[in-house]
Amino acid sequence: MQRRLAYASLLLLTSQLVAPALLAQTAGGATPAPAQTSTTATSPDGPATPQSQTPTGQDGQAAEEPVEISAPGVDASASGEIVVVGRNIPNTIRATPQIVSVLSAADIARTGEGDIAGALTRVTGLSVVGGGFVYVRGLGDRYSSSLLNGSPLPSPEPLRRSVPLDIFPTTIVGSALVQKTYSVNYPGEFGGGVINLTTKAIPAKNFISGGVTLAADDATTSELGYTYRGGDADWLGFDDGTRSVPQFVRDIQAGRGSGLIPAAQVAQLSNASTTLLQRNNQLPANWSGELSGGSVFDIGSDRLGVISSLSLSNTFRTRSAIQQDSVSPDGTLRNDFRTLLTDNRIVANALVGLGYEFGNNTIRWTNVYIHDTLKQGRGSAAELYNNPSGLRFQQNTNWFERQLIESQLVGEFKLTDALKFDARGAFANSKRNAPYERQFDYLCSNRTTTGLPISYDGANGAGGFQCNGAYQVTQRFTPFASIIFSELNENLWTGQADLSYKLDSDRPITLSTGYFYQGTDRYSSRIQLNYQTSDGAGTAPGFPYNLYRPDYLLSPDVINNACPLRADPKCTLQLQFSTQAGAYAYDAKLDVHAGYAQAEAEVTDGLRAVAGIRYENAVETVTPVLGTTTRLKNAYFLPAGTLTWNFAADMQLRASGAKTISRPQFRELAPQQFRDPDSDRLFFGNPNLRDSELWNLEARYEWFYARDQRFTLAGFYKRIKNPIEQVGFYTGADDRLQTGFTYLPSAILYGAEVELQKYVPLSGLGGDFFATRRLVAIANYTYTKSKINADSTCVPNPAVAAGSPGLNGCASGFGQARLLFRDGASLTGQSDHLVNLQLGVEDTAALSQVTLLFNYASNRVTNRGPSYLSGDGFQPDIIEVPGIRLDLVARQGFELAGGKFELKAEARNLTRTRYNERQDFGNGRFVYLNRYNLGRVFSLGISTTF
């Protein structure tokens, strides 16, 4: 039998996991090693010659590819004596008693994805919903936590707690570890899993690399889209001052100023550059560029490393959507809109890392900057509208700017052979600024507001948005126009210290303890200003000004003379500060203090046990302006334990149990309205929410039948108390669907997952071409089932204000769960079936790969069905139909003019699967809340390293 590495022997707290050559002996096997898949332009270890052979260990077997992993509370000394049977169990699996999935740099490169969220869709049991939010085993992003090098990340999204992972380009990520079972060294907020991203660290040698990529989307590139002028620096994702926030808005944010903004101040706002929605019949192609470099310096026996990376991407996406709704039990349409949205997304990021190794100690400083901007143009025309006055046309111009900065310092110190101390501290800041969210509402009518007939000449439509008459602003829509300024700023301080001691005994026993602190402060404001004439009551400018397009409608002539037929110089255009949609600003704070104790031991030959308990105390407050503070103060003891039984060669059984929690997000608690640009829907928080508690059980069988090849089978069960869910609701007969939050009495979730990874050498086919090539087959399937309990328990009612009278004997703002939910329905975001398949051919001696990637996710609930306007009963749930997705990725390395190059070609969404969000009313009647085509995306990129 081989000697086994102790727990987490390779999960180094530095961001680089280094496997000494002698440890390769424990991971040998007859199967060839993985192909050299580290992209030469992004490898943390410097340039890798595409034609170089895979390194071998001392026993002549191919050495296991090192994986960069940074995680809290682990032992880097790797000096245990735990016995293992078999040679094929990978180091990252044998080194941890928990159930984990790891994407190395090579795995990420094989998927060809540009961001880490896309790459994670290839992990068993994971799916990505919306703008990069990862769901683990069907549990929403609120049940998943994201760590960067072991430290929590704040989210720049006001609608989410977790950070959208599609803002992390794969160029700066060395590995992604998904831990599906809880261990007490992690924060107690753990539901579906924790995702730990490790940034690239000390390079093996000096290098500089760069690359560019061009891409075309056949539903967007060279097709019709909506855009607007904006500023000169928009293409870089930064505002040049065009959207500067005026002082009177700052005064409102600070609690000063008046509820009415006079014409002189209205004229200070930027006009045509932010209001005029324009057609672009040939949207440009998508592009991205990346530049990185690294250096290493030997200082005696010490090593100092520097690594840096810069990248910028600019992409367009157009969605031509059907957006319908119904308030009838039979699904009869109330409104039917055709909406055209064009998103121009610009992402810039930078990474600078310093690492210093001296003796058995390491100090590492990592700095990450990500700037993610969405510039959006939107036009929405009603084909059916619940208003006899005429059809509605709504246009929006938006600018959403997100920013994330994190600076992290990590130190690991080996005080003695048995005593290890690790410390980490981090500061992170996230911002979301959305100035000049403009909206205009026009009514299509064949008569003017003065009663004059309007004849349709067939020339006033745009892109299919035709009007049998003329579009005009009227008092029917209050407001006829609005402008919103929203800001979010969040600071996150974290610190953790971990101490471990290895007892000198016949069997390996390691005792560890640690302390964790998290302090989060958020300020969020949303200032909505509605346009009206000085006559008040939301009145619109008079005829003929009300026929003007938006930039003329807000021109100085109209601002200073809004009632032309009256010739009244006192009738001007003004802005009214609106607080009807809840609090316009709030402060939020979360302080967490935690400590843990854990023991790991070899109970008997082949049987390893890890058990621990975590105490976590937290105070969470949300204080709306002019509102009542919500305060949640709770303390929990969270036990966790895992058994690992290596009962046969290369086979293991694992069993795990734990209790964890999930706190309401700030945004879920705050009574403030926000529009989600991805779902094109309004969200509103609820201060009556409370913590969720989870009990988790899991068992897993692992068989590593050959080197880097495996078969795994797992079953899992979760019971959740007070799970928080999204619920749709209508605020009035003319209003479109909004989303609120509530919780259920309880829910259960259970399922199973299976994974197979197989390599088949192709040398038997003969010829030099197949001599070093092999077939790669990686497949996984996850079955998940969940059921909610909706009884007569009183739960928050998101359709009413928190202080509104209760329903059916419940307290204010509450109603019975059975009146809001369908008992036995699935949890939000949970797909019964998830399938991932990768089939490819790759060269084991050089960089050459072709991979076909298949992904399927079955239907999942995105929102609970809204209650009927009568308050009696509720509609069917809103279901997303993800369907099938097929991608093809090809990568080829070559040398030219002394440089090492990689050529990468991708074809995404070959099935052209559409986005489909609907309600099923039975008898074949569907209401499509949001349905649009997603294009096929073709890209070609080249990168080089010197």
The predicted-structure confidence for 471-512, as pLDDT tens digits, reads as follows 999 877 778 999 999 999 999 999 999 999 999 888 889 999
Which structure tokens are listed for 783? 């079955």
Rg (the chain; Cα; Å):
29
Lowest mean pLDDT among 81-85, 185-189, 616-620: 81-85
Q: Which CATH class is domain 214-452+464-945?
A: mainly beta
pLDDT at residue 564 tops 70:
yes
pLDDT at residue 29, rounded to an integer: 35
pLDDT at 680 over 90: no
Q: Report residue 362 as tokens.
A: 């390491």
**Rounded to an integer, what distance in angstroms lies between the CA atom of residue 614 and that of residue 659?**
10
For residue 732, what are the contacts with CB-CB under 8 A and spacing of at least 6?
A: none
At 62, the amino acid letter reads: A
Residues forming beta bridges with residue 784, ordered by sequence position: 751
Same fold, 2-208 and 214-452+464-945: no
Q: What is the dihedral of CA 86, 87, 88, 91, to 10 degrees?
A: 110
Is the pLDDT score of 869 beyond 90? Answer: no
Is residue 672 packed enough to be buried (19+ CB in 10 Å), middle (13-18) or exposed (0-12)?
buried
User: Which range (17-31, 92-106, 294-308) has the least confidence?
Assistant: 17-31
Q: Residue 769 pairs with which residues in a beta bridge?
A: none
Helix (H) or strand (E) holding 837: strand 833-843
Task: Please say whether the beta carbons of 845 and 771 come within 8 A.
Answer: no
| Res 166: pLDDT | 62
Q: What is the pLDDT of residue 692?
A: 94
Mapped onto helix, strand or coil, the DSSP state of residue 584 is coil
- Among the residue ranges 5-14, 57-66, 807-816, the one predicted with the least confidence is 5-14
Task: State yes or no: pLDDT of 169 exceeds 70.
Answer: no
Q: Is 705 exposed, middle or buried (0-12, 13-18, 19+ CB in 10 A)?
A: middle
Q: Mean pLDDT score of the chain, rounded to an integer?
A: 84
String of DSSP letters for 154-217: --S-TT-SSPPGGGSBGGGEEEEEEE-S--TTS-SB-SSEEEEEEE----SS-EEEEEEEEEEE
Q: What are the residue ranges spanned by the domains of the chain?
A: 2-208, 214-452+464-945
Residues 292 and 366: their CA atoms lie apart, in Å, by: 15
pLDDT of residue 873: 76
The upper half-sphere exposure of residue 362, i.e. CA atoms within 13 Å in the direction of its Cβ, equals 24
Q: What are the tokens at 508?
A: 């390996």
The hierarchical CATH code for the domain 2-208 is: 2.170.130.10
Q: State yes or no: pLDDT of 234 exceeds 80.
A: yes
Which stretch of DSSP H or E encloses residue 136? strand 133-136
* The pLDDT of residue 146: 81
121, two tokens? 């869709």
User: Across 288-297, 335-344, 895-904, which has the greatest mean pLDDT?
Assistant: 335-344
Task: Give the integer Cα–Cα distance in Å for 460 and 474.
Answer: 18
Residue type, 54: T
Ramachandran region, residue 321 (left: φ > 0; alpha: ψ -120 to 50; beta: rest):
beta
> In the sheet that 738-743 helps form, which strands lie side by side, from edge to edge?
673-676, 681-684, 738-743, 724-729
Instruction: Kindly report the pTM of this predicted structure.
Output: 0.87
pLDDT bucket at 852, cuts 50 / 70 / 90: very high
Q: Give me the pLDDT at residue 667, please.
A: 85
Res 849 pLDDT > 60: yes
Contacts of 33 (CB under 8 A, 6+ apart): 54, 62, 63, 64, 65, 707, 708, 844
In the chain, the largest separation of any two C-alpha atoms, in whole Å, equals 98
Tell me the three state secondary structure of residue 265: helix
pLDDT above 70 coverage of the chain, percent: 84
Quote the pLDDT of residue 677: 72
Q: Any bridge partners for residue 443, and if so which?
A: 392, 472
Q: pLDDT tier at 856 (50, 70, 90 boundaries)?
A: very high
Looking at per-residue confidence, does 817 or 86 come out higher?
817
Q: Which of 117, 113, 220 is nearest to 936 (CA)?
A: 220
Give the model's pLDDT for residue 201. 67
Q: Percent of the chain beyond pLDDT 90?
A: 53
Q: Which residues contact 157 (CB under 8 A, 6 or more apart)?
A: 131, 163, 164, 402, 432
Confidence of residue 388 (pLDDT cuts 50, 70, 90): confident
- Judged by DSSP in three states, 562 sits in coil
Q: What is the pLDDT of residues 278-313, one digit of tens each?
A: 999 999 999 999 998 889 999 999 999 998 889 899
Neighbours of 930 (CB within 10 A): 22
The angle formed by the CA atoms of residues 160, 929 and 739, to the nearest 5 degrees, is: 35
Least reliable range by pLDDT among 67-81, 266-280, 796-810, 911-925: 67-81
pLDDT in tens, 642-660: 999 999 999 999 999 999 9
Q: Helices in 740-869 by DSSP H: which ranges?
A: 768-771
Please state, in angstroms and rounded to a whole number, the distance separating the CA atoms of residues 309 and 170. Answer: 11
Does residue 163 contact residue 50 with C-beta atoms inside 8 Å?
A: no
Look at residue 470 and tell me whether its pLDDT is greater than 80: yes
Indicate the pLDDT class of residue 726, thresholds 50, 70 and 90.
confident
Q: Is it the case that residue 418 has pLDDT exceeding 60?
A: yes
Q: What is the pLDDT of residue 579?
A: 67
Question: What tokens appear for 789 in the block?
Answer: 């309990």
Has residue 900 got a pLDDT over 60?
yes
pLDDT of residue 242 exceeding 80: yes
Interval 38-80: pLDDT, tens: 333 334 344 333 333 344 444 444 455 666 676 675 554 443 4
- CB atoms < 10 A from the CB of 633, how many? 10
Amino acid at 55: P
- CB-based burial of residue 815 (10 Å sphere; 0-12 exposed, 13-18 middle, 19+ buried)? buried
Distance CA 854, CA 886 (A): 5
Report the C-alpha gap between 464 and 458 in whole angstroms: 11
Q: Which two tokens stand for residue 576?
A: 């009214």
Give the model confidence (pLDDT) of 142-162 as tens digits.
777 788 888 887 776 656 666
At residue 386, the 3 state secondary structure works out as coil
The CB-side HSE value for 809 (13 A sphere, CA atoms) comes to: 4
Q: What is the mean pLDDT of residues 913-939?
A: 94
User: CA 561, CA 572: separation in Å to the nearest integer?
Assistant: 5
Distance CA 784, CA 467 (A): 48
Burial 281-301 (b: 16+ CB within 10 A, else e): eebbbbebebbbbbbbeeeee
From 700, 830, 709, select the one nearest 754 (Cα to Cα): 700
Buried b (16+ CB within 10 A) or exposed e, 109-126: bbbbbbbbbbbbbbbbbb
Partner residues linked to 371 by β-bridges: 348, 403
Q: Is 708 in a helix, a strand, or coil?
A: coil
